[in-house]
Structure 1
Amino acid sequence: MRIVILGAGQAAASMAARLRANGHDGPLSVIGVESAAPYQRPPLSKAYLLGEMGVDRLILRAPEWWREQGIELRLDERAVSIDRDRRKVVTDRGEVEYDALALTLGAAPRRLPAEIGGALPGVHVIRNLSDVDLMAPEMQPGRRLVVVGGGYIGLEAAAVARKLGLEVTLVEAAPRILGRVAAPETADMIRDLHRAHGVEIIESVAVERLTGDDRVTGVALGDGRTLPADLVVTGIGIMPETALARDAGLALDNGIAANEFGQSSDPAIWTAGDCASFPWRGARVRLESVGNAIDMAEAVADNILGAARPYAARPWFWSDQFDAKLQIAGLGADYDRIVTRPGDGAHGGSVWYFSGAELRAVDALNDARAYMIGKRLIEAGRSPDPDAITGTADLKALLA
């Protein structure tokens, strides 16, 4: 069986390794549009941008590993279309036959519209190596950065810029930062952390346009202010890469729609990672995380080889900002009660999400114990009494 993996990120690397580990000894190709071999993305907006991690440490597998495993790694090659009838991927270099095709295409960053200045030089996004390599030389002490978007990527970029000595203002159009992904209590902790480090945060104000002719010089806001800017970073979310799947006639639903096994509407085509949505606890979800990319890719690899194992997602996430670590277990959607617990330091604590009596998620800032206990409870399907979390009660007792 000839297996082709389209997309060369974390999910692709995990899937290829699992296929070989499970005994697939047939032809196996990984095709990616970037020139770099599969690498870690989370450090891009943190350690790599800070200059604390080089490309060699980002790369997931050394070149000799791919050769030893007999995996054809086709880099700097763009897929143009999928011919489902002939089972061929058409690329800008030719055609590649497959018996099973896996789409691990990831996602692309949303950009500000060109008509309001989003295409001006000096306006950056953070998604891949080339994005950060283009931006890094501009991150000089004393320069003025405006970050558009108060999600995790925008906040991480703001934190790194402050550590590098830039003057940073973050603008969020919604009423508060982290509005789509975290409770107000978590947003309050993160806002306090940033303000303590000198980041100016403006909420409930939209960007009207970016100013400048040859490059960006400012950000005009809906309240009449114009913020001077030597550079702008936009962190306004990502969109799953679905164009190839759409043009091939595959079903879409907040990404490439997969069944519980990771199979698309075409039985010969599978999908995993940021581009894929799948059934989970009676709903359809799409998870943008390294953990999901690895776990789903490995489950799909098993299923391509006939395991018929439903993918049971165990959502977890993290975000490093300044010297603080935010760790998240579960999904906090559809909650109706929040329980908070203080941490040991000035910037720390945990936020517990409940829907009725069910524990749905835990956000823990500088509180690894709360994260680990919450994660174990959620994965075991156990929900403690919310009143037992508050105060100084021993969290370990919740596991008894």
Structure 2
Amino acid sequence: MASAAAAAAAGMGCYSQTSWALRRLGAGGGALASAATRRRNCSVAAAVFDNQNREYVIVGGGNAAGYAARTFVEHGMADGRLCIVSKEAVPPYERPALTKGYLFPPEKKPARLPGFHTCVGSGGQRQTAEWYKENGIEVLYEDPVEAFDGKTQTLKTSSGKILKYGSLIISTGCAAARLPEKIGGDLPGVHYIRDVADADSLVSSLGKAKKIVVIGGGYIGMEVAAAACGWNLDTTIIFPEDHIMPRLFTPSLAKKYEELYEQNGVKFVKGALIDKLDAGSDGRVSSAILKDGSVVEADTVIVGIGAKPSVSPFEAVGVNIEVGGIERLIPCLEQVYLASLLLEMWQLFRSRCMIE
């Protein structure tokens, strides 16, 4: 629903914030480092790194990691010094495409990688796997971090690989909020969208679907419903609020969009809560049962009810989860930075500059 210009502006904002934060990190001073930290930066930079040691490690292979990598390269901090540890099978990409052009039917030329790798959202270079290799950046694909020791500055990945870092950026992003398994949240035909694999699975279902139910009236729900219209599917959106996009749209603005969707055949069930998802004789989802006993038939269900921070295994050492994202690490862990805090610091810095 966002325009291309808005998406580009968002990308530029992400890039500008990351650029500022990494300049501070690379300088080893100012808001991000104490004198002791600066001394350790110098010793780490001068060290000879073996197969286990990395000067900089980014945990998480999402959009923030891609923009950070771009900034590392621009400041001469990447070649042979930066490692990205990712659970995904592909380099960072502009995630919003997954609920927009990626879901188009084949005849409408859907978006596919490598078309939307970071940093095309800001008009920058498309950073494919070759780009990371050419710039000396190591990327560990499909090998997420499973253990973390802040005192010894080490990480352990799912493959058993041990990494010792000089400076660590936690950029693990979010996971889609899920319906409980006991009410059918994991039934075949129930989809959540967060990565390319999720989107591929949904596209496969859309190609065979007849009736879909979208749970949630936010960005994800509305964008998926719009895509379903392109497949000419019987589409129903269910949400508990009085109108779509309640945190962003006024009632009058929401009404205009709802009318547009209704003109394209989409049905709305407002003020409703899901009691459970039922399965048919084949074990696949067949309907959504509401709290008031109403039944909405569906052979495909898409759940878009928000997201939650992906902070495991860092929770054990003091990453606090607040409403809206990750709060902070325990103060004693030096050389560990959260992408969310880097952005907050940039915003504070920018606001002070504007005031002064």
Query: What is the percentage of aligned positions where both structures have the same residue?
Result: 30
Whole-Å separation in 1 of the counterparts to 2:261 and 2:57 = 44
Whole-Å separation in 1 of the counterparts to 2:331 and 2:250 = 33
Aligned positions of 1:209-358 closer than 5 A: 209-213=276-280, 214-254=283-323, 255-258=325-328, 266-272=333-339, 276=340, 296=343, 310-312=345-347
Q: Which of 62, 66, 73 does residue 13 from structure 1 map onto?
A: 66
Residue 144 of structure 1: aligned partner: 211
Residue 109 of structure 1: aligned partner: 176
Which letter does structure 1 place at the counterpart of 2:326? I
Q: Which of 261, 273, 279 does residue 206 from structure 1 map onto?
A: 273
Q: Which of 49, 55, 66 does residue 113 from structure 2 map onto?
A: 55
Moved more, 181-190 or 233-242: 181-190
Residue 42 of structure 1: aligned partner: 96
8 A Cα contact 1:256 1:264, kept in partner: no
8 A Cα contact 1:81 1:247, kept in partner: no
Deviation at residue 26 of structure 1 after TM alignment: 5.4
Whole-Å separation in 2 of the counterparts to 1:220 and 1:380 = 52
- Relative to the length of structure 2, the TM-score reads 0.74
Deviation at residue 137 of structure 1 after TM alignment: 1.6
Residue 84 of structure 1: aligned partner: 150
8 A Cα contact 2:91 2:117, kept in partner: yes
8 A Cα contact 2:184 2:277, kept in partner: yes
8 A Cα contact 1:109 1:125, kept in partner: yes
Deviation at residue 38 of structure 1 after TM alignment: 1.1
Which letter does structure 1 place at the counterpart of 2:71? R
Residue 290 of structure 1: aligned partner: none
Question: Secondary structure at 1:58's aligned position in 2?
Answer: coil
1 or 2 for the larger relative contact order (CA 8 Å, sep ≥6)? 2
Whole-Å separation in 1 of the counterparts to 2:168 and 2:203 = 36
Whole-Å separation in 1 of the counterparts to 2:131 and 2:341 = 30
Unpaired runs of at least 5, structure 2 = 1-44, 46-54, 119-126
- C-alpha RMSD of matched pairs (Å): 2.5
Is the alpha carbon distance of 1:251 and 1:231 closer, same or farther for their aligned partners in structure 2, counting shifts above 3 Å? closer
Is the alpha carbon distance of 1:225 and 1:253 closer, same or farther for their aligned partners in structure 2, counting shifts above 3 Å? closer
Whole-Å separation in 2 of the counterparts to 1:97 and 1:192 = 56
Q: After superposition, give the CA deviation of every residue in 1:334-390 in whole Å (9 maximum; x if it has no partner).
A: xxxxxxxxxxxxxxxxxxxxxxxxxxxxxxxxxxxxxxxxxxxxx989xxxxxxxxx
Is the alpha carbon distance of 1:193 and 1:267 closer, same or farther for their aligned partners in structure 2, counting shifts above 3 Å? farther
- Relative to the length of structure 1, the TM-score reads 0.66
8 A Cα contact 2:57 2:83, kept in partner: yes
Q: Which of 95, 113, 129 does residue 196 from structure 2 map onto?
A: 129
Which letter does structure 1 place at the counterpart of 2:279? G
Is the alpha carbon distance of 1:256 and 1:264 closer, same or farther for their aligned partners in structure 2, counting shifts above 3 Å? farther
Unpaired runs of at least 5, structure 1 = 279-295, 300-309, 315-378, 382-400
Question: Secondary structure at 2:237's aligned position in 1?
Answer: strand
Deviation at residue 188 of structure 1 after TM alignment: 2.1
Whole-Å separation in 2 of the counterparts to 1:177 and 1:132 = 23
The structure in which a higher percent of residues are strand is: 1
Residue 349 of structure 1: aligned partner: none
Aligned positions of 1:145-224 closer than 5 A: 145-213=212-280, 214-224=283-293
Deviation at residue 37 of structure 1 after TM alignment: 1.4
Whole-Å separation in 2 of the counterparts to 1:251 and 1:66 = 32
8 A Cα contact 1:251 1:264, kept in partner: no
Answering whether residue 94 of structure 2 is matched by residue 29 of structure 1, we say no
Question: Secondary structure at 1:127's aligned position in 2?
Answer: coil
Is the alpha carbon distance of 1:265 and 1:230 closer, same or farther for their aligned partners in structure 2, counting shifts above 3 Å? farther
Moved over 4 A (4+): none
Which letter does structure 2 place at the counterpart of 1:257? E
Whole-Å separation in 2 of the counterparts to 1:100 and 1:205 = 47
Is the alpha carbon distance of 1:215 and 1:142 closer, same or farther for their aligned partners in structure 2, counting shifts above 3 Å? closer
Is the alpha carbon distance of 1:180 and 1:187 closer, same or farther for their aligned partners in structure 2, counting shifts above 3 Å? same
Which letter does structure 2 place at the counterpart of 1:248? V
Whole-Å separation in 2 of the counterparts to 1:201 and 1:245 = 40
Moved more, 153-162 or 88-97: 88-97
Moved more, 247-256 or 218-227: 247-256
Which letter does structure 1 place at the counterpart of 2:156? V
Which letter does structure 2 place at the counterpart of 1:256? I
8 A Cα contact 1:124 1:135, kept in partner: yes
Which letter does structure 2 place at the counterpart of 1:6? V
Whole-Å separation in 2 of the counterparts to 1:4 and 1:81 = 14
Residue 141 of structure 2: aligned partner: 75
Aligned residue pairs total 283
8 A Cα contact 2:80 2:137, kept in partner: no
